[in-house]
Structures are given as structure tokens and as C-alpha cells.
Homo-oligomer: A and B are copies of this chain.
Amino acid sequence: MSDGRSGSGYGGESLLFLTDEQLRQGIEAMFFAYQGFTADPDRILGEMAYGRAHHRAMHFINRAPGTTVNNLLSILGVTKQSLNRVLRALVEDGLVDSRVGTLDKRERNLYLTDRGRDLEQRLSDAQRIRMRAAYKQAGPEAVQGFKKVLEAMMDADMRRAYADLREAPQ
């Protein structure tokens, strides 16, 4: 594992020699980049009584209006109890509307209110600005590779969730 090298044929035309050093760089890049990725929304959220978890919930409710708690927590990868605390705050503050399911009354269908949409927009805008700047700086060819590696890094169920969201644009 620590021989510092690992490779195998790829594509029949070029070889992939992945040294531990190269992999380590990727790992550290991922860590530092994620800090930047969350920095802008975090700054905005810090001014109010919300955190990153509230942002994530609002993002995906906005993406799929009417989604259920159960669906949401499978996307977010947290327990329903943890999500519930966040949702309760958002509902109490009038940012999220939680309606008892019509077909199955055990379920709750979640929607953003107008105010919820406003805040979500503010947070997403900040994140998009950074992403757009990064894309421009890195260039168009880079964007393809970026997405490819990220997708390959996901767990199988998350890759499925990701694909589902892409196929169902609002």
C-alpha cells in the first residue's frame, strides 16, 4: 500500500502511474477546495441563526418541491432525527411549508415559502459566483474532467441521486 506507486493500463494508449504523492495532492486539493466551496454561504448563514445543514435542506427542497422527509434524508445522508431538527426550525420561521401527504398521510411534502426561496436564492447565488469564477479560471476542458472525477468519487447511491437530479431539472 505504501510502495508509492500504483498503475495499470488505461485506454490502450496511455498509462496511469499514480504515485502516493499524486493521490495525496488530490486529497489535499479536495479538502482545501471544499473549504472555499462552503465559505460564502457559511458567511451569510453566520449572520442569522442558521447553519450549513439548513442551506442543504433548502437547496434540495428547492430542487424538488414536494419532496418528502424520507427522500430528503437519503439525499443528504443524515438521520431523520438530525434533519428533523433543521426542518422544524425552518417551518417555525416560515421558510419551509410542510404539508401532510394527500396519498399517504404519514408523509410530509415539503415546499419553500416565498421567503424561503429568497434566502435560498441568496445562498445559491454566492455559491454560483464562486463556481463560475473557478470554471472560467480553469477553462472549459477542465470542467469536464472535474465532473468526471467527482462523479467517480461518489458512493453508488449518491451517484444515483445525482443522476436523478440531473434528469429532472426544474
Contacts and interface: CB of A to CB of B under 8 A. Distances in A.
A32 B125 contact: no
Contacts of A23: 128, 131-132, 135
Taking residues whose C-beta sits less than 8 angstroms from the other chain, chain A's interface range is: 35 or more
A134 interface: yes
Nearest to A126: B1
Given A139-B10, A145-B142, A166 B25 contact: yes
Interface in A69-127: 77, 121, 124-125, 127
Interface string A33-58: 11111010000000000000000100
A130 B153 contact: yes
A36 B162 CA distance: 13
14 contacts: A10-B136, A18-B136, A21-B169, A25-B147, A28-B165, A30-B33, A33-B150, A35-B154, A36-B153, A133-B152, A134-B152, A137-B152, A138-B148, A145-B146
A121 B37 contact: no
A53 B29 CA distance: 17
B14 A140 contact: yes
